[in-house]
Chain A
Amino acid sequence: MRVALFTTCLAEALAPRSLQATVLVLEHFGVTPEVPAEQTCCGQPLLSNGLPEEAATLARRMCVIFRAFDAVVTPSGSCCAIVRERFADLFVHGSDDHRDALALAARTFELVEFLETQLRVAVPTTSAPSPECDPSMTCHDACHLRGIHRHGCTAPFLTAFGCRDVRPLPDMAQCCGFGGMFSTQFPEVSSALGQEKLAHVATTGASTLVVSDTGCGAHLAGLAHRQRADNNSAAAFRIISPAEALAHRLGLLAMESIA
């Protein structure tokens, strides 16, 4: 099986560790991912901001770049959902492009989903290499995972995967307020939602927040960093991707201390 890593532009720019972790986790389970060099952006910012024709040109690129692969895996929930849910509608139904988009949608998976539903990986039999690698965690799933029926799946998977202390996040269903360019167009609304999310995270007392989308993670991390700059006593926790949580648990990647 040829598997491609769909890196996403945002993760390349902001969260390279989540991509490293994805590669290491896949390799741990016997999959050797390739990284097609020409991939750039899937077009989500264009699609979400009223430029569907422009988005279609990038969607078409994606179909070409990933054509030779049996599966396309990404750690970013929302980019995955865009390919799955919205690509096909960018093209005339019945056209070759439309068929290609549907085919790509059928082969594209978010990492946790891929491990759970495609590879059906076994739970690691050994415990985490050190307690630090299996910290207290709580999960916030990217809202776009709703569309592919994977919203709320990360926490149960991590628990099933042998992470010992995964705590329920109150009101997980509510958006963190990121929303792509929404976060810069309506910063007050976006931040108010983000602060509410951070407050819920703080009530769990978990040391680690697992966020299944790079953008949501960057938004929450940026808010938390500003909060701590304004108020030293604000709760401190690290924000990582599910890929990193798994790589830590398997001892494939060293855990970073909380800043």
Chain B
Amino acid sequence: MNELIAPTLPYDMMPRARAAIADVHLQQFVGRATHLKDEQRKSVFGADFGHDDYELLRSVAATTKQQALDQLDVLLEQFIERAQAHGSIVHAAVDAAQACAIALSIAAQHEAKYAVKATRCVKSKSMLTEEIGLVDALTRAGIETVETDLGEFILQIDNDAPSHIVTPMIHKDRAAAARSFVRVLGSRYTEDPEELTAIARAHMRGLYRHAHIGVSGANFLLAEEGTAVICTNEGNFDLSVGGPPVHIMFVGIEKLLRGARDLAPFLKLLARSGTGQPLTVYTSFVNGPRRAGESNGPKELHIVLVDAGRTGILGSSKRELLRCIRCGACLNACPVYRKVGGHSYGSVYSGPIGAVLTPELNRGAARAEGLANYPDLPRASSLCGACLEACPVKIDIPKFLLHARAELRTRTLSPASESRALRLWRWLAQRPMLFRLAIRASRLHARMLGQNDGRHAWISNAPGPAAGWTQSRDLGIASAQPFRAWFVQHAAERDAPPKEAAR
């Protein structure tokens, strides 16, 4: 798998974060795109629903998804039964390895069924397949797998990796795509988006026709109908499911909804939250393989229900995280994501949701490794709350960041010096006299050391825990009289009877 989203563990995010901050192109592309999408999200919800109805819609979606998660076992059984009744073949995979093995075994049976060895695969965009490393597994087995989402395709030919859940090549621009097309497809250099799309389309249309296997994810599974719902903007899913004789759909078990009756709020929220569109261009409902008399669709439809850490989350206090519909709104709203970009998170899922989800999905069998492998992620947040505000299913990401920080602390995965300083702070804060003395002493000390401009004493080279502060900023200690001293004086004057009246 690509080192960018599957780095050596434990992962230290700072080298990539520093590089990202210094990368003027990345700052420009990611900053501009995230701000734009965030603005579009706010304005489309404001225009289409207004504040109150939007809030109501979020609440309905949050409750609906949570209720689905709370009865996931029942919904799973129901979905499997209905999907099988439609003729779909349903598989269950406990982890990434098993999910990939299922795909390979389906591919291995291809020759016996269709008299041709499966060597070509067209793949629609799916974060889960990134998570399980499917493309690598297929490629190693001699199955050339092409990403058909335009952004993912460009990343694939560049040996790059997605840095955003919805807009995977947010860290690149059209010029980079143009250069790659010239290099790999031999096309003429152009930065015109329509021409670039036309080049990619001409290349891919042939691939769809000749592919043996199509692969995709799904956005929602409807238990009552046994239906999968797939939202795309490029129509590439429909081609990948319409052309090849075999289609394999990889879906996380958290994607289940009760049924079509619960779908509407999510369709209203998903595209608006992700890109500011009222709906994705294509919303496809897949009921099963091609039936007798139908002119297209796969002969075999495999649905692989993937756990890969999800039941662990479901059984924990963090089950709310599984509500996530992968809209990317929290990434677009996040100040830290905007600065460090997606690859700094060292994971398939980046941004605020990635910071809480990645350690949970990577806990492994012992349920312990996740945070040890990604100790920076929950700490790399200013806790500004923009993610919660943007989340269409109201996942309280800041709360889960705090929970993760607490676990880092109890498992001594955060710096011991910090823990000592914080505990000393608590000890002092329970002793008001000492606490005020300490504040006064440090103010005095700072004013002696600092450069006094009459208003503040400025320190530009602080020791110890404050060194991180003065690395890039000065510390200004106000020279004004301490508040308590001022207040005592002020209150005495305020409360004294007026002298004239007393006489």
Contact = CB atoms under 8 A, between A and B. Distances in A.
Given A61-B430, A184-B466, A222-B476, A54 B423 contact: yes
Nearest to B406: A50
B405 interface: yes
Nearest to B31: A196
Contact of A222 (B388, B414, B435, B474): B474
Interface string A159-192: 0000000000001011101111111111111111
B455 A259 contact: yes
A16 B480 contact: yes
A12 interface: yes
Interface stretch (B64-72, B86-94, B184-192, B484-492): B484-492
Given A11-B483, A14-B477, A193-B339, A175 B386 contact: yes
Interface stretch (B223-231, B261-269, B374-382): B374-382
B7 interface: no
A222 B17 contact: no
B148 to A, nearest CB: 35
Given A49-B418, A58-B430, A9 B439 contact: yes
B427 to A, nearest CB: 9
Given A182-B379, A189-B17, A222-B475, A41 B425 contact: yes
Interface in A184-211: 184-194
A17 B478 contact: yes
A191 B471 CA distance: 9
A222 to B, nearest CB: 3
Contacts of B478: 14-17
Nearest to A144: B385
B382 A171 contact: no
A67 interface: no
B432 interface: yes
18 contacts: A9-B439, A14-B477, A40-B428, A45-B422, A49-B418, A50-B407, A50-B408, A50-B410, A61-B429, A174-B335, A183-B469, A184-B468, A186-B14, A189-B340, A192-B21, A222-B473, A225-B456, A226-B460
Report, as a range, how many residues of chain A touch the other chain.
35 or more
A1 interface: no
Given A143-B386, A177-B335, A191 B483 contact: no
B10 interface: no
A229 B459 CA distance: 12
Given A12-B482, A17-B478, A45-B422, 7 more contacts: A9-B435, A13-B477, A32-B494, A58-B429, A179-B383, A188-B21, A221-B476
Contacts of B203: none
A136 interface: no
Contacts of A189: 17, 21, 336, 339-340, 380
A interface majority secondary structure: helix
Contacts of B477: 13-14
Given A58-B430, A175-B335, A187 B471 contact: yes
B476 A48 contact: no
Interface in B395-412: 399, 402, 405-410
B386 A47 contact: no
B409 A49 contact: yes
Query: Considering the complex of A and B, which 7 residue pairs feature the smallest CB-CB distances, nearest first?
Result: A179-B382, A184-B468, A222-B473, A50-B405, A50-B409, A143-B384, A175-B384
Contacts of A27: 494
B52 to A, nearest CB: 13
Given A12-B484, A50-B414, A184-B469, A179 B425 contact: no
A27 B490 CA distance: 11
Given A16-B478, A46-B422, A52-B402, A177 B435 contact: no
A170 B340 CA distance: 21
A51 interface: yes
Nearest to B470: A222
B443 interface: yes
B402 A50 contact: yes
A43 B382 contact: no
Nearest to A13: B439
A124 B466 CA distance: 42
A193 B383 CA distance: 14
B35 interface: yes
A19 interface: yes
Contacts of B410: 50
Given A47-B402, A50-B406, A35 B439 contact: no
B498 interface: no
Nearest to B22: A188
B383 A48 contact: yes
A98 interface: no
A19 B426 contact: no
A188 B382 contact: no
B63 interface: no
Nearest to A61: B430
Contacts of B386: 143, 146, 173-175
A183 B465 CA distance: 11
B370 to A, nearest CB: 15
A185 B379 contact: yes
B496 to A, nearest CB: 14
A47 B399 CA distance: 10
Contacts of A177: 335, 382
B481 interface: yes
A176 to B, nearest CB: 8
Contacts of B339: 189, 192-193
Interface string A1-39: 000000101011111110110010001000010010111
Contacts of B430: 40, 57-58, 61
Contacts of B436: 12, 40
Given A194-B473, A256-B455, A35 B484 contact: yes
